[in-house]
Structures are given as structure tokens and as C-alpha cells.
Structure 1
Amino acid sequence: MNHHFVREKKIDITRLDNGLVVATEQIPEVATATLGVWIGTGSRHEMPHEHGLSHLIEHMAFKGTERRSARQIAEDIENVGGDINAATSVEYTSYTARVLGENVDVAMDVLGDILTASAFDPGELAREKGVILQEYAAVEDTPDDLVYDAFMETAFPGQPIGRPILGTPETIDAFDEAVIRTFLKREYAPGKMVLAAAGDVDHGQIAALAQRSFGTMPAVPLREPDSGVYRGGERRIQRKLEQANIVLGLPGLSFKDPGYYAAHLFAHILGGGLTSRLWHEVRETRGLAYSIEAFHWPFSDCGLFGVGAGTAGKDVTELMDVTLACMRQATQDIGETEMTRAKAQMKVALLTALETPGGRLERIARQLLSWGRIIPSDEIVNKVDALTVDQVRAAGRHLLQGAPTLSAIGPLKGLPKVGDVAQALQR
């Protein structure tokens, strides 16, 4: 392939005495700087009484510190033309800011302030709980979101990795400053934090600013989350709706598993684009769904493979029959043309993500947290290119041997039982 498109820029890395890693990637042709602090903590690191706390803390970070009000946080960033954001996932929480290169000191000061000196004012805390409860209600009113929450809970029952990120009204209402500070002290440990910057940045300056903002954070012992143990099963939510939203899943692979890329490629060929098997058969040939997708979600120690779609109640049985047949058939006759196309699509997705400072920032932080090193793009591309038809078919057969998870919401009269689905996958 043309390696001009995957050439690696120089990434400088410094580790502070307390364990926090500082990594920068200078991009000379870019005038802005994107900075972010990534913490290797997400919803799966919460104890039962902390369910939803990672997400609440992410919200509260912008609600005032010991020296800035919520308004001042926003003004300090926007006065220099910047923007600031945060996100919570199952395994990570991130806080990012984008400014002109000349204003990285402002962005770093704000990020350091919200992560080390948040005030957690009781009034702001009460208001933000209300906001999150509205967010929770919105998910409850959105079947195509709710069905995926039900899917995760059914695949990993009674486990932190399977719980919805938002929490529940009961846990959200119970949170107070003491619970928040206990969690932060335990989980926001410098040894599981990466401060990354990309664009118009100077490593020496960023490292010095990081030392000033984060260098006094105490090093604390790192706590590993409970391992995710896939169980499977079914959950049906009967509702009077126009459509049935259905997710069928099976145990997948960790992103550290040697078979990860083959499993990912199998999912893409099955339902990853307009030329995928499911899209062609379900959407284009039979008109059974507006959209259908196959996915492979990897985590650090486990994963999920599955298919999600919505269809009219009268078409549920046919949709399931066609989907199961496509899944079985793909393990037998995936061909070279599909492989070539899927590999090209995966490489485009990989390289597109590296075309912005934000994309490069996320790659740096995630890889350092997960692998302790930056993985060169051509190393990933070479692994994808090396996959054979036999390997991808075998990966599909391995995936289909697992115990199914079936979650659905809406008119479900024609939905088969999960035991029947398991039998159908093995025909």
C-alpha cells in the first residue's frame, strides 16, 4: 500500500514522578492544539453503590472549582476561541480541550483545575443529578438505545461491565460529595492517566505545564476491575410500539486477543456496510429493516459480537430466520472479493481517524493506557492484510459457538426463544 498515508510523526513521551504519562505529537501544518487527559477508569470500575458515578463526575468537572465558577470555566476556554468536552465509557473517561497553539497554557490550566480542584458544590450537584435523570429518562423513551442497555445487562448479568453507564435513579439520587471524593482518590490515579496533546504543541512546554498542574497528585496503588464473565440469556420488553428493536449477540474477543482482527473482519463482512451480507439480504432484497448492522465490541479482557436491527412486528420471525441463515452461511463461504473490500474499508477507517489532532490524541492515549506503547499504523495494517479467508471463516465459526444473548423491545410475538436461536446457529 502507499505508506505515504500512514507515515508516523514523532511522538515524545515523558513520565512524571507520580506515574502520569505525558505524550505529544507535533503536527507542523496544524495551527491548533488538542489536549486531553485520559483516565483508565470507566463504569466497569464502579462498586454497586457507585453505579453511574463515573458519568456524574464527568458532568461535575465543569460545574466549578475552588477558583473558577462553572461560567468562568467556559469563559476561560471560549475567550481564546477554544472548546472543551468530556466523555465516559465502560473502561475510560476523557477530558479534552482544543485551542490555538499559543493558548495551550490556558487549556492546561483549566484541565488541571477541573481534575484536581473541583468544588462539588451541593447546589450544582443537585442540579446535575436532575440533568442526568433527564438523560436517563430519554434513554428509557428511546427503544433503540434501551435495547442495547438491556443487551449488555443480559450478556454480563450482575457485573459492572454490564451495567448502563448512566446509573439508575436510585444510585444517582444517593450520590454525595463524600462518595465522589472517595471514588476520585481511588480511581483517578496518576499511574492510570495519560495527558496527550497533538497539533501545534511543544513537548517541553506541555511536560512543564503538566508537572505544574498534575505533578503534586499522589501516586496510589492501582486497582484492577473485576473480570468480565459473559453469561448470555434473553430479555424481552413488551411494549406497544410500531417496531421491534432486536439485538442478538455472542461472546466476542478482547482487543488483546490474537484473533481480534479476524473477528472484527468477520463482523464487518457480515454487516458493516452497504455491500455487507446482512444489508444486502435484509434491507435491499427483502425490505425487512431500515437498517441492520453487525458489530464486534472489544474490551480489555473480553468482548461482544452481535447484530442489531429494527423491524415491524409482523416481520420479526422472518428477520430472525434470514439473519441466522446469513450468519451461518458467512462462516462457510466468505470469499476473496469480500475480504479485499473489507480490508480496504478497515484501513480507511483506521487512517481517517489519524487525519485530525483529536483522532491522533485518542490513539495515543488509548494505546498507552492499554498497551504501554504506541502501535505504528503499518503494524496494524500488516496484521489486517495478512488475514486469510480461512482465518476469518474460522473466526466466525468460533463466534457462533458461544451461548447467545437476545434482547428485544416492542411487539415480540414472533421472536424465537434464545434456546431455539442457539440451535439454529449450529445447523
Structure 2
Amino acid sequence: MRVSCVESAIGQDRLAQRTQIFDFDVHDDDLLKEISVTISIDNIYSCYYMRKTNWASGVLSPLHSSGGYRSTAPTLYVRTPMSEPQIYTLDNGIRVVVEPMPGAQSVVVAFRFTFGAKDDPNDRLGITRIAEDVLFKGTPRHDARAIFDAFDGLGIRRSSSTSVEYTSFLAQILPDKFKSALELYAELFRSASFPSDQVEIAKTITLEELKRMEDNPIQQAMYMTYKAGLGSPMGRIPLGEPDTVSAIVPAGVRRHWDAHCRPGHLLIGVAGGLDAETVIETVGDVFGGWAGKAPDSGESHPISVADRSVHREKPSEQAHICLLSCGVPRGHDLYYAGQLAIAILSGGGSSRLFTEVREKRGLAYSVSAFYQAYCGGGLMAVYAGTTADRAQETLDVCQSELARLRRDVTAEELIRAKTVLKGRLFTIGDLPEGRAGGIIEDLFLEGRVRTIDEIAAGIDAVTLDQIPQYIETFPPRPGTLLVLGPRPLETGS
């Protein structure tokens, strides 16, 4: 099949459009001849193609190209369209989102409970993190060894984590092991015994982790920044504090878990090689009989960042600089503009912070900007690690680059940032693990789920004038400045 396309590409100093002819060898009996192809500069060929029944979307790479623009043609593949995500609510309040991925050889299940470090009692900070760890150490029916044998016997790749707002568990499994895996997790969630000796071991490990933070100044600086900027409960460290962890007792861990681990607090996201009907039927069979009223967790905590400068003295030749400010919430009209603004700042080797702070001036060995979403808003953060004698100049340049986003973002930068974000989107989104994480995050933050096509369209729709509009709406200052190093720094007016 031969398709004529207009390709936009970034030249050294200008945008260029070139017409190319592509020959596609699609190998799809259901494919008709109509194809609409949009080519991006990262070699991702988004397309819509007419099947006998309906339009479908996917990604194609050409076998051959003419016009001499590329010396070698990318490899052909057809990105199989995924089914639309579907959301269900069981009678007991468990919300389930499913995204079948035809052709996937595995299934990923994301369990997310809507309680986390923010729900820890003030005198028992770290108790949710302890419970998450000890959960796997036994039930009335099975001891820790039997549980670990069961995980291995089912071939489950698992992980778990505790954040400020939620506690999550992730399982990657073969489709035919789906029900057995759900039954194993259901037993743990509903009847974990939290053995006293295992709670004490978990406390010891947690206290060691808190001590080791002294040897990781980047992590230490970021935790200090969140505490200084957000306060309690949103600025809490999930690990807790040494005195509160020491005060945790096994019976308290059991009470805390039993009080919060209820069906009304559970979200389940499933992506991969199972159809939605099978997933919903199986989840209902395993979890539908779970009863119990969850305590009211109230409204989400709004994100508010304190306007302050904090110096934490650390005798060292290094200085760690953190800037924290309110960012765009999920679902806001300027959300994608905000993501692109951060990509322009810190989206790779050509980004502004890397270029101005590291490459041109050699000020910092590490510099980055990132975004974090919460139910009650969003955060934008900038981190730079530098030498103590160049810390002030590093801060000045970082703040200058933040301010410069208001006025001189170029079309080339915007296109490059869009390419970066869509490259990550398609790379991660084609994997069951990536989609399971994405759909559970959407359900948690917005109560709805975006398709990959919707996200890509949102990125594409951002215009050049929306970047300064985002910075005006969500200015990086006022905010919190934290410096971990030998001397305090002065922030500009």
C-alpha cells in the first residue's frame, strides 16, 4: 500500500515540511485501503485506518520511503489498537477499571487503596508503610513461607509501595493465573495476621532506612522540602519519623489495617491479555462477597505551598537546592500545557535547565524539574545539586529559566517537547504494566480514565501561547526554597 504524507521535521534553525511516499505492508485481511497518517519527528507514525466495520487507530512505521530524507527506513509494525477502558463498581464499593490489550501475553493488576501516610495517627507516623511490608508475612491459613511459595508458584512479579495518599500493590501474571492471583491477594487484604516478630523486624528495617537517608542528600533534601512546603499531612514522609516508628506496636498495626482496608477504599486496575467480561466476572467472584464499611476519609487535602525559604545546615562541599510551587491539577484546561512546560525545562539533553545550568555554565552535576499530581492539586519542583561556592549562581539561573518560560518559548521547543511526551506515552502505554499504572492513576485522581489517543490529542492541541499562559496561571513563585548545604542562599525578588 502506498501512502503520500507530509512530514514536519525540525531542522537546525527552522521547521521544514517534506512530502514523502511510504509503502506499507500491513498483513491485515480486515484492513481497507484508506489510511490517514500523521508523522511525528520521533518516528512514531500515528494513523487511523478504515476496517470493514469501523475506524481504528494505531501506529505504523514504513517499510520504505522515498525523497531521500532518511538514509534507512524504520521497521514496519502495526500497533494493535487497544479496547476502550471500562469502569465498573461492585455492590460493595470496589471500583474496577479494565483495558484489554489484544495480543498481550501477560496481565497486570494494580490494587490501590485510597489511604496512605496522610491517614497515619500523628503519634504513629509510618504505620501504613509498616503494614504494607508485613502484609505478606502470614495469614491464619498460611505462614510467610507458604505465601512466598504461592507467589512463586503462580509466577507473579509483584511490588508494593506507600505514598502520602494511597497504598498500592502491583502484580504481573499470566492470564490463566489471574483468578488464583486475585484469591491470594484477597486473602492477604482481608485476613493478614501481622505477626508480632515480623512487625518488629519491619520497624528495625524502617529505622535503618531513615538513618540511611543521611547518606542520600538528594532524597533527604526532597523530603525536607515537602515537609517545609506542604506541612502535615501532605508533606509527611511515608517512612515516618524515628520516634513514631519506635512507638508502633503489632496490635496497633492490625487495628490500623483492619480499619482502613475496606472495599470502599479499593480501586483495581487490570490491563493486558484478558477481555473485560472475564475480568469483571472474576473480580466479582473473588471480591464481591467482601463486606465492611470504610471510615470516612473526608475530602481530599488541597495542595498549598508555603511561601518560605529554609536553610538546613550540612557541612559539605556540596549544596542541594529544591524549589517547590503549586502546579496544575489533573483535569485542568492547562494540564497538558503544564506538562509541556516542564518538558521544555527538563525533558532531556536539549532542555533549558540542562543547557543553561549544566552545559553552558557547568554549574550543577544534576538539575531537573518534575511534576507530581495529587487529588487536591499538583506540584512543580526543581532540584539542582552543585558545589557550595556556585550554589547562589545555580539558584539564580534556575529561577531565571523559570521566569523565561513566560516570554520566549519557540515553536521548535514546543514540537520537541511534544515529541518527548508522546514518545514516553507510546513506549510505556504499549506495555500492560504501563497501562495498568496509567488507568489506576486516572481513576484515582479524576474518577475517569483517558485513552492513549486522548492523551496524545491533548498534547498535540497545546498552542505556543498556552505555555506562558500556564506560567501566569500557576507561577513558580511564591513557593518554598530549601537549601541543604553549608550556607543559606538569597532568592530573587
Give yes or no for TM over 0.5.
yes
2:455 is paired with a residue of what secondary structure? helix
Is residue 67 of structure 1 aligned with residue 141 of structure 2? yes
Separation (CA, whole Å) in 2 of partners of 1:210 and 1:289:
50
1:257 shift after superposition:
2.9
Residue correspondences, number: 417
Is residue 367 of structure 1 aligned with residue 442 of structure 2? yes
Q: Which amino acid aligns with 2:249?
A: D
Structure 2 match to 1:164: 237
Which one of the candidate residues 136, 139, 159 is aligned to 1:85?
159
- Please identify, of 163-172 and 381-390, the stretch whose mean Cα deviation from structure 2 is larger: 381-390
- Please identify, of 382-391 and 213-222, the stretch whose mean Cα deviation from structure 2 is larger: 213-222
Structure 2 match to 1:389: 464
Structure 1 match to 2:480: 405
1:264 shift after superposition:
2.1
- Please identify, of 23-32 and 231-240, the stretch whose mean Cα deviation from structure 2 is larger: 23-32
Q: Structure 1 residues 399, 364: CA separation in 2 closer, same or farther (over 3 Å shift)?
A: closer
1:203 shift after superposition:
4.0
| Cα-to-partner distance string for 1:156-192 (whole Å, 9 max, x where unaligned) | 12x2101111101111122224433443344333223
Q: Which amino acid aligns with 1:175?
A: I
- Please identify, of 42-51 and 301-310, the stretch whose mean Cα deviation from structure 2 is larger: 42-51
Separation (CA, whole Å) in 2 of partners of 1:306 and 1:53:
27
Separation (CA, whole Å) in 1 of partners of 2:270 and 2:373:
25
Is residue 330–residue 446 contact of structure 2 (8 Å, CA) maintained in 1? no
1:347 shift after superposition:
1.5
Higher alpha-carbon Rg: 2
1:351 shift after superposition:
2.1
Structure 1 match to 2:284: 211
Greater per-residue strand proportion: 2
Q: Structure 1 residues 205, 222: CA separation in 2 closer, same or farther (over 3 Å shift)?
A: farther
Is residue 315 of structure 1 aligned with residue 406 of structure 2? no
Separation (CA, whole Å) in 1 of partners of 2:408 and 2:425:
26
Structure 2 match to 1:353: 428
TM-score (norm. length: structure 2): 0.79
Structure 1 match to 2:330: 255
1:254 is paired with a residue of what secondary structure? coil
1:15 shift after superposition:
2.2
Which one of the candidate residues 97, 102, 105 is aligned to 1:23?
97
1:334 shift after superposition:
0.7
Greater per-residue helix proportion: 1
In structure 1, list runs of 5 or more residues that go unmatched: none
Is residue 196 of structure 1 aligned with residue 269 of structure 2? yes
Is residue 193–residue 369 contact of structure 1 (8 Å, CA) maintained in 2? no
> After TM superposition, what 4+ stretches of structure 1 lie above 6 angstroms from structure 2?
none
Between the aligned residues of both structures, percent identity stands at 29
Structure 2 match to 1:298: 373
1:306 is paired with a residue of what secondary structure? strand
RMSD (CA atoms): 2.1
| Cα-to-partner distance string for 1:224-275 (whole Å, 9 max, x where unaligned) | 2443332231222222223111112222222233322222221221223211
Structure 2 match to 1:138: 212
Is residue 376 of structure 1 aligned with residue 460 of structure 2? no
1:364 shift after superposition:
2.1
1:379 shift after superposition:
2.1
Which one of the candidate residues 147, 153, 170 is aligned to 2:227?
153
1:86 shift after superposition:
0.7
Q: Which amino acid aligns with 1:103?
A: K
2:173 is paired with a residue of what secondary structure? strand
Structure 1 match to 2:4: none
Q: Which amino acid aligns with 1:87?
A: S
1:153 shift after superposition:
0.8
1:12 shift after superposition:
4.3
- Please identify, of 25-34 and 15-24, the stretch whose mean Cα deviation from structure 2 is larger: 25-34
Is residue 124 of structure 1 aligned with residue 198 of structure 2? yes
Q: Which amino acid aligns with 1:18?
A: N
- Please identify, of 8-17 and 244-253, the stretch whose mean Cα deviation from structure 2 is larger: 8-17
Q: Which amino acid aligns with 2:466?
A: Q
Q: Which amino acid aligns with 2:268?
A: L
Is residue 272 of structure 1 aligned with residue 335 of structure 2? no
1:221 shift after superposition:
5.1
Separation (CA, whole Å) in 1 of partners of 2:403 and 2:103:
48
1:307 shift after superposition:
1.3
2:200 is paired with a residue of what secondary structure? helix
Is residue 405–residue 467 contact of structure 2 (8 Å, CA) maintained in 1? no
Is residue 86–residue 95 contact of structure 1 (8 Å, CA) maintained in 2? yes
Separation (CA, whole Å) in 2 of partners of 1:390 and 1:210:
46
User: Which structure ranks higher in relative contact order (CA pairs < 8 Å, sequence separation ≥ 6)?
Assistant: 1
Q: Which amino acid aligns with 1:360?
A: R
Is residue 187–residue 223 contact of structure 1 (8 Å, CA) maintained in 2? no
| Cα-to-partner distance string for 1:187-212 (whole Å, 9 max, x where unaligned) | 33322312222223354444344334
In structure 2, list runs of 5 or more residues that go unmatched: 1-37, 39-45, 48-57, 60-78
Is residue 305–residue 480 contact of structure 2 (8 Å, CA) maintained in 1? no
Is residue 8–residue 377 contact of structure 1 (8 Å, CA) maintained in 2? no
1:61 is paired with a residue of what secondary structure? helix
Is residue 321–residue 395 contact of structure 2 (8 Å, CA) maintained in 1? no
Is residue 49 of structure 1 aligned with residue 123 of structure 2? yes
